[in-house]
Amino acid sequence: MSSLPSFDGCEVTEKVAAGPIVEIYRATQVPLGRKVTIKALAASIVPSSPFAAALEREARLLGQLNHPNVIGLYDFVRHGDRLWLVLEAIDGWSLAELLERAKHFSHPAAAAIARFLAHGLAHAHARGIVHRDVRPANVMLTKAGGVKLTDFSVASDERLPTAPELLDGSGGQPSLAYASPEQVLGEPPDPRSDLFSLGALLYELIAGKTPFGPGDDPAATLRIRNEPPPPLGRYAPDLAPTLERVVQRCLQKMPAHRYQSADELGAALDAALADMGVSPRDAVLEALSGLGLAVKPSSPVITERVRRPGPSLGTVAGVLFGFSVLLGAGGGAIELWARHAGAANGEPGPSGRLELVPATPGYLRVVAQPWAEVIVDGETFDTTPFARAIPLSPGTHYVRLEHPQAPTERRTIELAAGETILLDVSMKVRRPAGLSGDSALPSAAPVDSSP
């Protein structure tokens, strides 16, 4: 204990990390008895150095923020040749640590984590602050199911000088695995850059890998600028279409094609969680419980969002009428009655009707980049991405994929009973007029946030 440094008003209990520029300690504020984290300039760094100015700059940025999804600043102290921040102590784990253990998260937990971060970013962006380094190492999950965005050492604020270098001495570039195309090109920071990074993080939480490869891969720069990420459906075939579209829109190359604010992204994630019938905090607790790190929530995480009523008297009457018609008109009335009864119970099929499934179907899965409307045998099925397979009778089928800015793609498939065919198609989206080079990219598919 004697080897630990002292900080005015705090009793240090443990050294957490030590780098060439800063050192991190756990401590208790006296006489409050409050647990805190100390982020201090290393004793070898003189207070006139750019690193000392960067630490003070981080304190000024955090001093403007007060949000449950952002780490809190209690104090900034300059005492002689020493500088330190007194930060909120977070009882939990970094998301990077948890990904080492879990590799990926459940879809509700991934959406919930991203939702909390979007709300924290919206708070920062409203005050002119762009984080610029949203990645798992800078996200903490608490034992109570909370999510905190940390480390604003490279955050930008046009009212303050640019940070000269990361305080850990690793250089001024955020992690390449989560960097936006404009960050790679060295363009000025933009709040929508944070949304790209958050989309890359959400992709990793679902797929178990980053969308453009590891940050130490030199080719990642070219992929970030020029290539779409692999479709999430390849790694998570049961992913809800609403959530997949959220990720797609975040990862658009052009900032104008992404969500235009963190508030907008947060609303889309709230809608996705509502579609799954999930409480965000319970979803995080469920994920931590699965890792043996928290008590499982007492209420189920996934609940039925809308409890459908039983059949009404009108529906029962319709059933009786349907059978009477069936007796007189043959089996052709079955589908008509099924559509009527399904609609009455709020169970439409993909095109607003209840389809009859063949007795021995084959299945078609469709992945289209960036998105497409899927028409099978002249019937519109849905707009990608969607997780479910299309059940079809064995035989020949004609598939058409349509996008308003791309030529129609046509495929003919021969399907056997029990067989599953995957169509993975890249739509040849035309460049919008007036754009060229890397900036000419298709706009995102509209996000379906309907209940």
pLDDT in tens, the chain (451 residues): 458 888 988 999 999 988 888 999 999 998 889 999 999 998 888 888 888 888 999 999 999 999 999 999 999 999 888 899 999 999 999 999 999 999 899 999 999 999 999 999 999 999 999 999 999 999 999 999 999 999 999 999 878 766 554 444 444 445 789 999 999 988 888 999 999 999 999 999 999 999 998 877 778 888 999 999 999 989 999 999 999 999 999 999 999 999 999 999 999 999 999 989 889 999 999 999 999 987 666 544 443 333 334 444 444 444 444 444 444 444 444 343 333 434 333 333 443 333 455 678 888 989 888 888 888 887 777 788 776 788 888 888 889 988 878 898 989 898 898 888 999 899 998 865 544 443 333 344 444 433 3
pLDDT of residue 403: 83
Question: Are 83 and 56 contacting, i.e. CB atoms less than 8 angstroms apart?
Answer: yes
Coil, strand, or helix at residue 101? helix
pLDDT of residue 104: 93
d(CA 169, CA 436): 38
Q: How many CB atoms lie within 10 A of CB 314?
A: 9
Give the class (CATH, top level) of 93-163+173-290: mainly alpha
Closest CA to 278 of 266, 269, 291: 269
d(CA 189, CA 197): 12
Beta strand 420-426 with 362-369 is parallel
Architecture of the domain delimited by 358-451: Sandwich (2.60)
State the average pLDDT for the chain.
80
User: Cβ contacts of residue 33 below 8 Å, gap of 6+?
Assistant: none
Q: What is the pTM of this model?
A: 0.66
- Provide the CATH topology of domain 10-88: Phosphorylase Kinase; domain 1 (3.30.200)
Question: Are 160 and 61 contacting, i.e. CB atoms less than 8 angstroms apart?
Answer: yes
Question: Are 172 and 163 contacting, i.e. CB atoms less than 8 angstroms apart?
Answer: yes
d(CA 400, CA 374): 6
pLDDT of residue 362: 87
d(CA 171, CA 168): 8
pLDDT of residue 357: 57
Residue 133 annotated among the catalytic residues of the structure:
yes
d(CA 246, CA 258): 9
Q: Which of 133, 151, 157, 275 is catalytic?
A: 133
Angle at the Cα of 145 from the Cα atoms of 141 and 147, rounded to 5 degrees: 40
User: In terms of C-beta distances under 8 Å and separation of at least 24 residues, what long-range contacts does 183-191 make, across chains too?
Assistant: 183/132, 184/221, 184/224, 184/225, 185/225, 189/130, 189/132, 189/156, 190/130, 190/255, 191/121, 191/125, 191/130, 191/261, 191/262
Q: Which amino acid is at 361?
A: P
